[in-house]
Structure 1
Amino acid sequence: MNRLRTLIFQAIFYSGSVGFVLLAPVSACFGEGPLTRVVYGWARFHDWCTRRLLGIGWRLQGEIPSGPVIVAMKHEAMYETIQALLLLDRPGTVFKRELMNIPVWGPALRRFGGIVVDRDAGSTALRAMLAEGKALIEAGRPILIFPEGTRVPPGQRPELKSGLSGLYRMLKLPVVPIACDSGRLLPKKGLKHPGVVTFKVGETIPPGLPREELEARVHAAINALNG
């Protein structure tokens, strides 16, 4: 049954996503409003597919503060990268540079509020990153980052990448850590399993802390479900 569920999900979700991918760059030409509708339409389509086809729901433990904050989320599956759109209010997401360099699609990501964090960036790139972050703050939007940098199998606790501390230092925002356990139901390879993904909101971390303390607190909080 899980094999059949997985095959049906892949067929419907990925084929259905083509329309949204093609619409995003076009809608971006007409402003933020049309692009936002396309992006959230895709997120709701993904939620429907995972619920109805895979039998995977989600629950939120705790409350996510509104307004401009940095949300640091555990990353175990592609699931949370899309589902975060339904948890947060129009988040500006930190992307890998490779995604932002995709022709047509990359500019649409940036238009929606994408930020590239590059630890080896020069002063010009750092100024651009700071300007993008400040624009999101002025719009009252949160900034979403996956501080481990890539998907991590359940139970693993790698060190955090430097992008989080860089944003924290430059933007002087509080950090909201969120743990999730999506990897046990949606492994990177293999069949998907029905169940409920939990998102657990940790204690908000104030701005101005030393890097070591910030990273230690975030690391503990985003791994709270790795029992």
Structure 2
Amino acid sequence: MAFLRSLLFALIFYPATLLVCLFALIVAPFGQAPLREVVHFWAKFHYWLVQHVVGIRFEWDGELPNGPYLVAVKHESMVEAVDTLRFAHTPVVVMKRELTTMPLWGWVARRYGVIGVDRKAGASALRTMMKEAKAAAKADRPVIIFPEGTRIPHGERPKLRPGFAGLYKMLGLPVIPIAQDSGSVWPRGFVKHPGTIQVKIGEVIPPGLPRKEVEARVHEAINLLN
């Protein structure tokens, strides 16, 4: 049954994503607002499919405030990568550069506003990330980062990647850590399992803390459900 649910999700979500991207191309000449509405509709549609087709429910503890924050999210599956566009107010998401170069979808993502990071570029990638993150904060948009760098199997707690500390210092923004356990029902691979994803929004961490302290606090907060 889990396989059939996962297959139905894929058969609906990916063709629908193509249609959404094509519609985004149509509305893009009319300004940023309609394009953002299309992207937010896509995120809400994904959320509906996750609940009603895959059979995954969400239990939230806390609420994410609007405004320019650095939001550090535990990353265990694709579901939170899309869902950030729904639960955060017009966020700018830090993601792998390869995703921003995908045909069609990558163009829509860049127009909406994302920060593509080339991990092989070293210091130059960090400088680009800082510049784009500053522009996002200036526009009063939250910056979403997955501080452990990539999808992590549920239960593992790797160290934070250096990019988080660099963003934290450069932006001077408070941090909102988010713990979640999506990997327990949405592991790597094709099959997703019905169940519940818990999401816990941690206490706001103020700007200006020493690197070791902020990293320790964020690491502990995003891993509360592991």
TM-score, with normalisation over the residues of structure 1?
0.91
CA distance in 1 between partners of 2:124 and 2:84 (Å)? 30
Determine the structure 2 residue equivalent to 1:12: 12
- Residue 190 of structure 1: CA displacement? 4.7
Tell me the secondary structure at the aligned position of residue 144 of structure 2. Answer: strand
Consecutive unaligned residues of structure 1, counting only runs of 5 or more, are none
| Number of residue pairs matched by the alignment | 224
- Residue 223 of structure 1: CA displacement? 0.5
CA distance in 1 between partners of 2:182 and 2:44 (Å)? 17
CA distance in 2 between partners of 1:41 and 1:134 (Å)? 26
Q: Please tell me whether the aligned partners of residues 24 and 105 of structure 1 are also in contact (alpha carbons under 8 angstroms).
A: no
- Residue 103 of structure 1: CA displacement? 4.8
Q: Please tell me whether the aligned partners of residues 177 and 202 of structure 1 are also in contact (alpha carbons under 8 angstroms).
A: yes
- Residue 64 of structure 1: CA displacement? 1.8
Q: Please tell me whether the aligned partners of residues 133 and 171 of structure 2 are also in contact (alpha carbons under 8 angstroms).
A: yes
Q: Please tell me whether the aligned partners of residues 69 and 173 of structure 1 are also in contact (alpha carbons under 8 angstroms).
A: yes
Determine the structure 1 residue equivalent to 2:124: 122
1:79 aligns with 2:79: yes
Bigger drift between 43-52 and 14-23 goes to: 14-23
Q: Kindly report structure 1 stretches of 4+ aligned residues shifted beyond 4 Å.
A: none
Identity of aligned residues (%): 51
Q: Please tell me whether the aligned partners of residues 160 and 219 of structure 1 are also in contact (alpha carbons under 8 angstroms).
A: yes
- Residue 29 of structure 1: CA displacement? 3.7
Q: Please tell me whether the aligned partners of residues 27 and 35 of structure 1 are also in contact (alpha carbons under 8 angstroms).
A: yes
Determine the structure 2 residue equivalent to 1:171: 171
Determine the structure 2 residue equivalent to 1:56: 56
Q: Please tell me whether the aligned partners of residues 93 and 115 of structure 1 are also in contact (alpha carbons under 8 angstroms).
A: yes
CA distance in 2 between partners of 1:105 and 1:63 (Å)? 29
CA distance in 1 between partners of 2:114 and 2:130 (Å)? 12
CA distance in 2 between partners of 1:216 and 1:26 (Å)? 45
- Residue 118 of structure 1: CA displacement? 5.2
Give the 3 Å change call, closer, same or farther, for CA 118–167 of structure 1 in structure 2: farther
Determine the structure 2 residue equivalent to 1:30: 30
Tell me the secondary structure at the aligned position of residue 122 of structure 1. Answer: helix
Q: Please tell me whether the aligned partners of residues 21 and 108 of structure 2 are also in contact (alpha carbons under 8 angstroms).
A: no
Give the 3 Å change call, closer, same or farther, for CA 38–156 of structure 1 in structure 2: same
Determine the structure 2 residue equivalent to 1:140: 140
Q: Where do residues 195-206 of structure 1 align in structure 2 (5 Å cutoff)?
A: 195-206=195-206
TM-score, with normalisation over the residues of structure 2?
0.91
Consecutive unaligned residues of structure 2, counting only runs of 5 or more, are none
CA distance in 1 between partners of 2:151 and 2:130 (Å)? 25
Bigger drift between 113-122 and 133-142 goes to: 113-122
1:70 aligns with 2:63: no
Q: Please tell me whether the aligned partners of residues 117 and 163 of structure 1 are also in contact (alpha carbons under 8 angstroms).
A: no
